[in-house]
Amino acid sequence: MPWACQNDGMVSLLADSLSKSYSTPDSELDVLVDVSLSLAASENLAILGPSGSGKSTLLAILGTLDQPSSGTLKIGDADPFQLPEPQLAEFRSRQIGFIFQDHHLLPQCTVLENVLVPFLASGSAGAVEIDEATQLIGRVGLADRLLHRPAQLSGGEKQRVAIARALVRKPILVLADEPTGNLDSRTAEEVSRLLLELQVEQESMLVAVTHSQQLADSMQRRLHLDNGQLVEHV
Ligand code: ADP
Ligand code: MG
């Protein structure tokens, strides 16, 4: 499997001159213009910027959910956009974890089943996977909620489940799109702290789009996206 990457401290992310344009009948919209960024293994990065500045578009490309109009992306040793679709899907489910503003949990499934979802993309979940998921659910403070369904959880608890789901396969890259955007400030702070603790423990890379200064300030680097271009803030 030439595209498999180990989380051995050597992996990194390199985005080079990513551009994304959308054509509409009367105009061409340049959402991202020559965006380049690199991330060392285990590093975390906040992306800030006004609504409509292309933050979610950039995250979707870094997550290989969307193709850039031009530019290249390397994640670990992989050049994901060169992979045929089935291998790209396997790479994505194995190596990338996603957390959205809205938890995106499956309403009909329990907490445990939701956290097992990433394993199902590569086959079935057996005793080992159930044990790993159960441990991580305990780590996010929900050991006594294993069989609850999302509707029976608070907003903060749902985001904790979403974090566990994103991290359960120990991906090398975690992408979070306004992960605390729907939470009150105290819950947002707790969820942010948990996300960063787990990212450090698992030594994954984390890119988080956020409007929360508190979350951005607790991350190692901050980039600002404006008019499709990235500027690094110190
Ligand atoms: P942000 O996450 O920073 O709020 P987005 O990345 O969601 O911004 O969107 C950036 C811009 O790209 C917006 O003007 C949006 O309307 C436009 N856009 C996003 N997706 C599409 C699409 N599929 N087709 C056309 N325009 C799009
Ligand atoms: Mg967005």
- What's the pTM? 0.93
Pocket-testing residue among 19, 20, 31, 66, ligand 1, by greatest number of atoms within 8 A of Cβ? 31
Q: Which CATH number fits domain 12-232: 3.40.50.300, 2.60.120.10, 3.10.20.740, 3.30.1310.10?
A: 3.40.50.300
pLDDT tens for residues 81-99? 999 999 999 999 999 999 9
What spacing in Å lies between the alpha carbon of 96 and ligand 1's midpoint? 22
Residue 3 has pLDDT above 60, yes or no: no
Q: Return the pLDDT at 4.
A: 36
Atom of ligand 1 nearest to the CA of 209: 2
Q: Where are the beta strands (DSSP E) in the chain?
A: 13-24, 27-39, 44-48, 70-75, 96-99, 173-177, 205-209, 221-226, 229-233
Per-domain boundaries in the chain:
12-232
Residue 54 has pLDDT above 60, yes or no: yes
pLDDT tens for residues 8-36? 445 499 999 999 999 988 899 999 999 99
Cβ atoms of 7 and 170 closer than 8 Å: yes
Residue 29 Cβ contacting ligand 1 at under 6 Å: yes
185 burial via Cβ count (<10 Å: 0-12, 13-18, 19+): exposed
Mean residue pLDDT of the chain comes to 93
In angstroms, the Cα distances linking 94 to 89, 99, 129, 197 are: 9, 15, 13, 21
